[in-house]
């Protein structure tokens, strides 16, 4: 398996697309009470989720590099990984949702959904296949027990 685009760049592309939509699309503007607070909550959740997931990989002494998952030395299944198989990608999604709230354009929800679609089909499925090849039955059982996103 050889994935060429790092997920943070994919997230940055979708954030740029959100900005372009919010700037140049004349419809879809929205505002509601608490939008600013909700934006910061999404960003804080994204930050802590990313921090916790990186720390768990660090403590397990395994790679966080999604470009080459076959370098993984250990399957991390505890902590946050007992709730979601992809907390780092979930953190990126939460960041995009917060960014969409900042921009205040309803069409950004479609862009965030596009990020999920892209990640599922072009990143996660390839990672899952590589991890299944590497960890076999243990990874299959983990996939059955824990959801992909949340």
> Is 1 inside a domain boundary?
no
pLDDT tens, position by position, 110-136? 999 999 999 999 999 999 999 999 999
What is the average pLDDT across 35-50? 97
| pLDDT for residue 142 | 97
> Is 91 inside a domain boundary?
yes
> Is 2 inside a domain boundary?
no
> Is 130 inside a domain boundary?
yes
Contacts by residues 37-44 (CB-CB < 8 Å, ≥ 24 positions apart) = 38/98, 38/101, 39/98, 39/99, 39/101, 39/102, 40/98, 41/98, 42/94, 42/95, 42/97, 42/98, 42/101, 43/94, 43/95, 43/98
Q: Does position 2 have pLDDT exceeding 70, yes or no? A: no
> Is 138 inside a domain boundary?
yes
pLDDT tens, position by position, 44-83? 999 999 999 999 999 999 998 888 888 889 999 999 999 9
CA angle 127, 13, 118 (to 5 degrees): 35
- Please tell me the least confidently modeled range out of 27-31, 33-37, 76-80: 27-31
Question: What is the domain extent for residue 68?
Answer: 7-22+30-145
Specify the pTM. Answer: 0.94
């Amino acid at each position: 398996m050889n994935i060429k685009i790092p997920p943070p760049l994919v997230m940055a592309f979708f954030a740029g697309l959100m900005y372009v939509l919010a700037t140049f699309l004349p419809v879809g503007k929205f505002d509601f009470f608490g939008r600013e607070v909700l934006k910061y909550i999404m960003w804080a959740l994204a930050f802590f989720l990313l921090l916790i997931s990186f720390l768990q990989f660090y403590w397990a002494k395994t790679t966080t590099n999604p470009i080459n998952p076959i370098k993984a030395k250990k399957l991390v299944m505890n902590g946050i990984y007992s709730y979601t198989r992809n907390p780092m990608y979930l953190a990126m999604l939460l960041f995009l949702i917060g960014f969409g709230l900042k921009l205040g354009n309803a069409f950004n929800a479609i862009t965030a959904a596009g990020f999920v679609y892209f990640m599922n089909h072009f990143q996660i499925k390839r990672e899952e296949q590589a991890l299944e090849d590497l960890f076999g039955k243990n990874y299959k059982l983990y996939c059955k027990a824990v959801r992909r996103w949340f």
